[in-house]
Homo-oligomer: A and B are copies of this chain.
Amino acid sequence: MSVSKKEIESSVKDKELIEIRRKEIVNAAVDLFVRKGFHRTTIREIAQKFGMSVGTLYEYIRTKEDILILVCDYINSTVRMRVKPSVEITKDSTRSLKNAIETYYRIIDELQDYIIFLYQETKSLSHENRKYIFKSEEDMTRIFEDILKHGVEQGSFKIDEKNIPLMAHNIMVQGQMWAFRRWALQKNYTLERYIETQSKSILEQISAH
Residues of chain A touching chain B, judged by Cβ–Cβ distance below 8 Å, are 37, 39, 116, 119-124, 134, 137-138, 141, 163, 165-167, 169-170, 173-174, 177, 180-181, 183-185, 188-189, 194, 197-198, 201, 204-205
A interface secondary structure, majority: helix
Is the beta-carbon distance between B205 and A185 smaller than 8 angstroms? no
- Alpha-carbon distance A177/B120, docked complex (angstroms): 14
- In addition to A120-B120, A120-B121, 7 A-B residue pairs with Cβ atoms within 8 Å of each other are A120-B122, A141-B184, A165-B184, A166-B188, A169-B177, A169-B184, A204-B205
Residues B205 and A201 in contact, CB atoms below 8 Å apart: yes
Q: How far is the CA of A39 from the CA of B38 in the complex (A)?
A: 11
Identical copies of this chain, number: 2
Tell me whether A37 and B189 are in contact (CB under 8 A): no
Using Cβ atoms and an 8 Å threshold, which residues of chain B touch A183?
Answer: 134
| Chain B residues whose CB sits within 8 angstroms of the CB of A141 once the complex forms | 184
Q: What are 30 A-B pairs with beta-carbon distances under 8 A?
A: A37-B123, A37-B124, A39-B39, A116-B123, A119-B119, A119-B120, A119-B180, A120-B122, A120-B123, A141-B184, A165-B184, A165-B188, A166-B185, A166-B188, A166-B189, A166-B194, A166-B197, A166-B198, A167-B201, A169-B177, A169-B181, A169-B184, A170-B177, A170-B198, A170-B201, A173-B174, A173-B177, A204-B204, A204-B205, A205-B205
Please measure, in the bound complex, the distance between the C-alpha atom of A42 and the C-alpha atom of B183, giving whole angstroms: 31
